[in-house]
Structure 1
Amino acid sequence: MQILGIDVGGTGIKGAVIETATGELASERLRIASPHPATPESVGATLRALVEQHRWSGSIGIGFAAAIQRGVARTTANIDPSFIGWPVTESPRRDEHVVEKHIPDAFIRSALER
């Protein structure tokens, strides 16, 4: 199975198609500079741009540094504090792109840093 793995970082948002059985990249790794401020709206627009650049319509895994409790961001690191209280697990694809599985952040980062 393949997913589009996306890592939301303080300076860049990176994405690539990942083969989940091996953790190997199945596409070119793309990077877009993180928006400033990195609000839910501006990060969402950048995520949509990465999905469109990959011409992706499958499952997506998104990792970013935040404590998530019951689907809601409770802390932030390297992104705007306006993420606190934001329903992370409900919002990434309410318009077009649904997050279908929770992929460990370390798995996504490991694959995208290769």
Structure 2
Amino acid sequence: MTDLAIGIDIGGTGIKGAVVDLATGELATDRIKRSTPEGGKPDDIVEVVVELVDALAGEHRDAPVGVCFPAIVLDGRTMSAANVDDAWIGLEAEALFEKALGRDIHFVNDADAAGVAELRYGAAKGREGLVLMTTLGTGIGSALINRGVLVPNTELGHLEVDGKDAEKRAAYIQKERHEWSWEQWAKRLQRYYSHLELLFSPDLFVVGGGVSKHHEEFLPLLDLRTPIIPATLRNNAGILGAAALAVKPAPVA
């Protein structure tokens, strides 16, 4: 098995990538980032991804490529569109990238990639049982992994809590928009994580997203039966997970 792979993480505002050392879970090159083209149209995003892969490949031209994307991914098709153009909905996206890159890739939901990365290299490494990762940002992404088996496309940020979409109440962007204190936001997080706990009885919660670097401000305010810890890979999680899955796909339920 090769020890190097290229990971590309596509987001609504930025597209970033790096070559990953799969043995250590560290970046083997500098991370390259480009702005997501305005409007997020398929051809424009594909063009940026080709540019990044070409820039990263160099002497690693035969390295496997993994790409993660902010959408439900079913059999290589993007079935939703978060902060990108609606033309992605129902698109044969994996085939589109493969044709442009001239190679096979592994194509996966971005939150699922981040969850796999935290399990293999980060906060959940060595943990047994059911791990539920959430990313708190513009929305709430989720990854559900039971004994190393990924349950893909869970989209648990869209659970209904108190009559509303959970991410409309508890995503980090809501805290910023409403200028809530950490305590005010934590009350909404408490409702959300208590609901997840009731539904799934996980062995561990992992909390990612940029706000996880401030975990000491809000995680201690939550009263849960389940241990809840911050993610450790932060902005590199999608890159690491996409690259790792390109070489060793996670078993999928």
Give the Å deviation of 1:76: 1.3
Aligned counterpart, 2:113: 105
Would you say the 8 A contact 1:64–1:105 is kept in 2?
Answer: no
Aligned counterpart, 2:13: 11
Aligned counterpart, 2:48: 46
Aligned counterpart, 1:78: 83
Aligned counterpart, 1:2: 4
Is the helix fraction higher in 1 or 2? 2
Tell which deviates more after alignment, 100-109 or 89-98.
100-109
Would you say the 8 A contact 2:8–2:67 is kept in 1?
Answer: yes
SS of the equivalent of 1:4 reads strand
SS of the equivalent of 1:92 reads helix
Distance 1:22 1:111, change over 3 A: farther
Distance 1:91 1:3, change over 3 A: same
What's the C-alpha RMSD, in Å, of the aligned pairs?
2.2
Distance 1:65 1:95, change over 3 A: closer
1 CA distance for matches of 2:47 and 2:106?
A: 21
2 CA distance for matches of 1:97 and 1:21?
A: 26
Q: TM-score, normalised by structure 1?
A: 0.85
Aligned residues: 113
Consecutive unaligned residues of structure 2, counting only runs of 5 or more, are 118-234, 241-253
Residue identity (%): 29
2 CA distance for matches of 1:82 and 1:102?
A: 17
Q: Does 1:90 align with 2:83?
A: no
Give the Å deviation of 1:89: 2.3
Q: TM-score, normalised by structure 2?
A: 0.41
1 CA distance for matches of 2:98 and 2:12?
A: 21
The structure, 1 or 2, with the larger RCO (C-alpha pairs under 8 Å, 6+ apart) is: 1
Consecutive unaligned residues of structure 1, counting only runs of 5 or more, are none
Aligned counterpart, 1:22: 24
1 CA distance for matches of 2:74 and 2:91?
A: 11
One-letter amino acid matched to 2:53: V
One-letter amino acid matched to 1:76: A
One-letter amino acid matched to 1:68: V
Q: Does 1:62 align with 2:102?
A: no
Would you say the 8 A contact 2:21–2:28 is kept in 1?
Answer: yes
Distance 1:73 1:91, change over 3 A: same
